[in-house]
Amino acid sequence: MRLFIAIRLSDDMRQALLAAQDALRKRGVRGNYTKPENLHLTLAFIGEYPDADGVLDVLDAVPLRPFELKLEGVGAFGDLWWIGLEKSEALNGYVRALRHALAEAGIPFDGKRFSPHITLLRRADTGGRPMPGLAIPPVGMTVRRAALMRSDRGKDGMIYTEIG
């Protein structure tokens, strides 16, 4: 199973992200846009791992006190374009605790520095024009839980399913 731990987004946040995608499409930006049901914030990418129950045990063991997330800014990692989040010590602290618990349990994960973002599209193509500016509304949500997700390749792209 290909696994990752993520925060699933509120309807309001998802609608703001879909509006940003629509604005990019109207400006002629082509690419592989993230499907609405796949929009999420990844906290830890585990990858191929056979023991979902072990990961769920770690999730249960790491307390998550509710905290706020708010959209802020846009950026890119090469041709992957994203919307960022307002700085949150509560989010960063939870991710540190979660990753520490995964490591203690011997569960492998991608150890890249946590850079909170929500992917809007991959393989962005502007036809040679610079990345257009986007007005991002300061939409927020209260995070109450993290979810273990499974990623499967379907005929129309990736399918993300919550486990447990």
- Residue 3: what pLDDT? 96
Give the predicted TM-score (pTM) of the model.
0.90
Residue ranges for the chain with pLDDT beneath 70: 164
Question: Residue 42 — left, alpha, or beta (φ > 0 → left; ψ -120 to 50 → alpha)?
Answer: beta
For tokens 């949150």, the residue is 88
d(CA 98, CA 64): 9
- Residue 4: what pLDDT? 96
Measured over the CA atoms of residue 154, residue 8, residue 121 and residue 111, the dihedral's sign is negative
- Residue 31: what pLDDT? 94
Residue 114 dihedral angles phi and psi, to the nearest 5°? -70, 120
Q: Percent of the chain at pLDDT above 70? A: 99
d(CA 90, CA 43): 13
Q: E strands within 9-156?
A: 30-33, 40-48, 67-77, 80-85, 117-125, 140-143, 147-154
- Residue 16: what pLDDT? 95
β-strands 140-143, 67-77 pairing:
antiparallel
Residue 35 dihedral angles phi and psi, to the nearest 5°? -65, 145
